[in-house]
Structure 1
Amino acid sequence: MSVEVLLNVIVICLLVPTIIFAVILNKRLEVLRSSRADLGRLIEAFNEATTRAEAGIPRLKQAADSTGSHLKEQIQKAQILRDDLAFMIDRAENAAGRLETQSRSGNFASSGTASVKETETKPSRRLSSEDPEEIMNSALSVAEGILRDNPVDGPRFGKRPKASSASFAGSEDERSEAERELLKALQSMR
């Protein structure tokens, strides 16, 4: 064998793997070319989604601003109601303290009056609603019930004749100063 034939055999042996590698590379390039079209469609869809998102941002901001301002108004109203209820509770506690002091000192009329022990044994009413209007109506009815059950006379609460529970619905002149103040405070909260 000559050197020339030997070199040709070596070149042939090297060309066979090169051809096989070229065929494999060509198939991969075809896959890449077809993937490029899919990638182009994906980029277009992504661009469209980005455009829609950018267009939606101002609407979202506007909705957030309007909701925020509405929520702020609701919070302010709730704080006003909370302050009013705190004021009413304070006034009611003061009135209850005065009524208790008067009942202990014996200045209540004996007819139609509940004793302090009877009052203490009554179950306290719990509010089952967060509705401010219902709370106001409940507070007003409780105050009217207290004033109806405990008519007062004497210099501390204003001078008036002894009142029975039936005279609670009477004229404004028959009510004591404390009753009028409590009812005014409760009715102004409506």
Structure 2
Amino acid sequence: MGWVQTGLDLLVVALLGATLPFAIRLERALRTARQDRAALEGSAAELGEATRLAEAATTRLRATAEGAGRQVAEKLAAAEPLRDDLRYLIERAEALADRLDSLVRSARPLTAEPGRAAPAEPAEARSQAERDLLRALKAVR
């Protein structure tokens, strides 16, 4: 049985020798997988931190947007009475302008009468607006 035992031992040694390169490759692959796993766990932790920061930023942004919306609503509420006041003043100004226009039209025949002369004022005493108004009135005649 000596030669059978020796043959079997040689066969086992040959098989172990054949598996040695595969074992070395497997060990390298496992080492790489462990390194990748550590990097992956680190990346997962960083991703979790980034997600937490993004959620916090979103919350702050939402709060800021709500605050800005409230401020705009307050300003709008404060501006509405002013808008109504301005609308009222514009309506009154239009009515007064129409009334002034009718008074100017009714006064034109009086100034056109030869017997009535307007009091003379020095041109320097009149403002630019008065001079422009007089010029416009003369152009309309």
The normalised TM-score by structure 1 is 0.47
What is the aligned counterpart of 1:110 among 97, 109, 117?
117
SS at match of 1:33: helix
Say how many residue pairs are matched. 117
SS at match of 2:71: helix
Shift in Å, 1:44: 3.2
Q: Separation in 2 of the partners of 1:29 and 1:54? A: 37
What is the aligned counterpart of 1:123 among 105, 108, 132?
132
Identity over aligned residues, as a percent? 13
Partner of 1:15: 23
Q: Separation in 2 of the partners of 1:15 and 1:95? A: 113
Shift in Å, 1:91: 1.6
SS at match of 2:132: coil
Distance 1:47 1:111, change over 3 A: closer
Unaligned runs of 5+ residues in structure 1 are 115-121, 126-145, 147-190
The normalised TM-score by structure 2 is 0.59
Shift in Å, 1:33: 1.8
Amino acid at match of 2:132: P
Shift in Å, 1:54: 5.0
Q: Separation in 1 of the partners of 2:48 and 2:118? A: 95
Amino acid at match of 1:94: S
Partner of 2:124: none
Shift in Å, 1:5: 6.1
What is the aligned counterpart of 1:49 among 34, 40, 57?
57
Q: Separation in 1 of the partners of 2:31 and 2:110? A: 110
Q: Separation in 2 of the partners of 1:61 and 1:110? A: 64
Task: Please identify which structure carries the higher helix content.
Answer: 2
The CA RMSD measured in Å over matched residues stands at: 3.5
Unaligned runs of 5+ residues in structure 2 are 1-9, 122-130
Which structure is larger by alpha-carbon Rg, 1 or 2?
A: 2
Cα deviation code 1:54-108 (max 9, x no counterpart): 555654443232111112122112211211221222122222222223323x177
1:76 aligned onto 2:84: yes
Shift in Å, 1:8: 4.3
Distance 1:124 1:31, change over 3 A: farther
Q: Separation in 2 of the partners of 1:108 and 1:85? A: 34
Q: Separation in 2 of the partners of 1:107 and 1:8? A: 138
Partner of 2:126: none
